[in-house]
Chains A and B, each alone.
Chain A
Amino acid sequence: MARNISFKQAINEALDLEMRRDPTVIILGEDIVGGAGSPGETDAWGGVLGVTKGLNAKHGGRLLDTPLSESAYIGAAIGAAACGMRPVAELMFLDFMGVCFDQILNQAAKFKYMFGGKAKTPVVIRAMIGAGFRAAAQHSQMLTPIFTHVPGLKVVCPSNAYDAKGLLIQSIRDDDPVIFCEHKNLYALEADVPAESYAIPFGEANVVRDGKDVTIVSYGLTLHRALEAAERLAKSRVEAEVIDLRTLSPIDLDTVIESIEKTGRLVMVDEANPRCSIAADVVATVTQNAFEALKAAPQMVTAPHTPVPFSPVLEDLYIPSADGIAAAVSKITKTALAA
């Protein structure tokens, strides 16, 4: 039975269901229970934004609050995964990868290959991503391309509650290390989500809107900006097909190319910085593999190549907008937009 629940609740539900199903699933991270050793409530926070709230009451002893030592506890999650557990570690903000990246880059990602296929590391690292929270340069980055660059990691970035639940369940069951990216400005967004357990396979992009004139590809928060742009474009009789990548490693470029073969035009929207990014990668791959189908040069609509600014007026300019996406489409379809 489906109910309308938030992205945040969907994540909580996925964790709850997997902990019930599999006793090797444990959760560790900073303040994921909250109040450990403090004089007040011992289940105070449930994560800094309350995503894991209530899980401790259901699965006491399997949620471990950690000291502020990302290298130690992310590494411990990876080590435990190599020893038969299925840990879900929360890194809080993905920006904090800077202090523990070795354990992800040189340990988790490489064990299987480096050990000749004889290891598996079923760890999930959950973290908040993205701008729009007025959290400034060190708590707002879209660092997805840093992880997609590393062979051995899987990278997931859902845009809605339904996908968040199904993709997190798949991430926990997956035998490879998964970086699970949660856009903090999507946490409150609600969708119909079945109460039961379901897994969404990796590497299957979702065509969320059909169209014949242009293909807009995105993921995460900006997927919604792309849909907004598509609605606006429809008023100018431009029908945009909108594709949600959902997982970035593996990435479903077949679905993108199939769409380009129909529309002949690509606008790639990515909240990450533009250089050496997923946007650049999708544009390059489409150009290389579907050049004949293209009627115009592929466009990238991304954040600028700057850190995330603090002042709301600047931050709003930083994030790709529906207007910017519509303008890029207008340029390559040579269509004047209706007012």
Chain B
Amino acid sequence: MSSNPFPLAKAELLQAYRTMRTIREFEERLHVEFAKGDIPGFVHLYAGEEACATGIMMHLTDIDRIASTHRGHGHCIAKGVDVHSMMAEIYGKETGSCRGKGGSMHIADLSKGMMGANGILGAGAPLICGAGLAAKFRGDGGVGVTFFGDGASNQGTVLESMNLAAIWNLPVIFVVENNGYAESTSVDYATAVDSYVDRASGFGLPGVTVDGTDFFAVYEAAGEMIKRARQGGGPSLLECKMIRFFGHFEGDAQTYKAKGENELNRATRDCLKMFAQRITHTGVITAAEFAVIDREVASLIDDAVSTAKGAPLPTTRDLLTDVYVSY
């Protein structure tokens, strides 16, 4: 038995791998299913970015809240939202997590502390300040984490919220998922600073930039920030530099990317592969053990897709319900 050089026990490493593999399989499968034309609307895939959601969410429990983005499937899975209900939601089925009324961009599960994917960029930042405020009033030690991309980082809501979180010393983490592209527009063009840490320091917030494809870098940086927030040390900002394997949305021809960019990234900067290789090199977990998880996850996603396809559609009655608690 090899000694474990990692900051997580073997069972936790296996759990992290399972989460990342589930996100990858979910997204790769959606890419295929979307191309068949069975999935309505817009779908934004998180493949390539799994280490970020997983590295952060390993520190959170159900009392902690997250506010997600339009690219929210990975956050949902890492926060513990049921994969079957997510898949059914994306297919617009009555059995979906939002009973078919939200779709890919609005999957939520408040019982898991998942306050919703969000179709409005930067909208999660004010909401997570509210989650942090509620946790502070309750005194339950809960924290809030809001995710936003390099694009949404330029929304006033995000900047206002960093200031608000700072002056109220809220237990909130701002996570910039910098994948280099706001839809098709490069971060170099659209953002005036080179580092989001500079933005954070403008609001008096500590900030760190990490390689978001390195699970352990994300895990360790997020761990410190979340611990500090729980102990009343206030908000901070984490910039994760990451890779988006697919387009902005499914159907995006990605002509704005360099030739061969996706292939090169998949070959050299695949966070899931790098995670597995780093661990198997030490012998803490064998490739065969990971392969077992791969098979289990593949069959889980298979089942989620076939169950979703066979699930009932919402009925006419569902159109008019759930607008108000009472009216």
Contact = CB atoms under 8 A, between A and B. Distances in A.
Interface in A190-222: 202-203
Contact of A115 (B65, B98, B156, B327): B98
Contacts of A250: 327
A66 to B, nearest CB: 7
Contacts of B127: 75-76, 78-79, 82, 103, 107
Given A76-B164, A102-B120, A116 B129 contact: no
A127 interface: no
Contacts of B133: 26, 64, 76, 79-80, 85
Interface residues of B, number: 48
Interface string B126-141: 1111110111011000
B164 A67 contact: yes
Contact of A103 (B98, B126, B323): B126
A79 B323 contact: no
A287 B123 CA distance: 41
B159 to A, nearest CB: 9
A80 B134 contact: yes
Contacts of A78: 126-127, 130
Contacts of A69: 160-161, 163-164
A73 B156 CA distance: 12
Nearest to B89: A116
Contacts of B324: 112, 152, 154, 176
A138 interface: no
Nearest to A121: B325
A75 B161 contact: yes
A55 to B, nearest CB: 16
A72 B102 contact: no
B120 A107 contact: yes
Given A111-B116, A113-B101, A114-B98, A76 B323 contact: no
Contacts of A184: none
Looking at A26, A80, A84, the one whose CB has the most chain B CB atoms below 10 A away is A80
Interface string B144-163: 10000000000011001101
Looking at B98, B119, B134, B324, the one whose CB has the most chain A CB atoms below 10 A away is B324
Contacts of A113: 101, 322-323
Given A114-B98, A152-B324, A71 B160 contact: yes
Interface in A307-323: none
Given A115-B98, A118-B98, A81 B326 contact: no
A236 interface: no
Contacts of B99: 116-117
A74 interface: yes
Interface string B98-125: 1111100010111100011011100101
B256 interface: no
B67 interface: yes
Nearest to B96: A116
Interface string A3-24: 0000000000000000000001
A318 to B, nearest CB: 32
A75 B163 contact: no
A47 B137 CA distance: 22
Nearest to A120: B325
A99 to B, nearest CB: 8
Given A75-B127, A83-B65, A176-B324, A116 B164 contact: no
Interface in B62-105: 65, 67, 96-102
A107 B68 CA distance: 13
A42 interface: no
A281 B27 CA distance: 46
A176 B326 contact: yes
A152 B123 contact: no
A249 B235 CA distance: 38
Interface string A59-99: 00000101101011111111111111101000000000000
B123 A107 contact: yes
B158 to A, nearest CB: 9
Interface in B157-194: 157, 160-161, 163-164, 167-168
Contacts of A116: 96-102, 322
A74 B65 contact: no
A303 B231 CA distance: 55
Nearest to B133: A80
B272 to A, nearest CB: 30
B135 A83 contact: yes
Contact of B126 (A79, A85, A151): A79
A266 to B, nearest CB: 24
A11 B140 CA distance: 32
Contacts of B109: 118
Given A71-B157, A75-B125, A114 B116 contact: yes
6 contacts: A66-B164, A75-B125, A113-B323, A116-B96, A154-B324, A174-B325
Interface of A: 24, 26, 64, 66-67, 69, 71-85, 87, 102-103, 106-107, 111-120, 151-152, 154, 174-176, 202-203, 250
Given A76-B133, A78-B126, A116-B102, 12 more contacts: A26-B133, A80-B133, A80-B137, A83-B130, A83-B131, A85-B134, A85-B137, A103-B157, A113-B101, A114-B106, A118-B98, A176-B324
Interface of B: 65, 67, 96-102, 106, 108-111, 115-116, 118-120, 123, 125-131, 133-135, 137-138, 144, 156-157, 160-161, 163-164, 167-168, 321-327
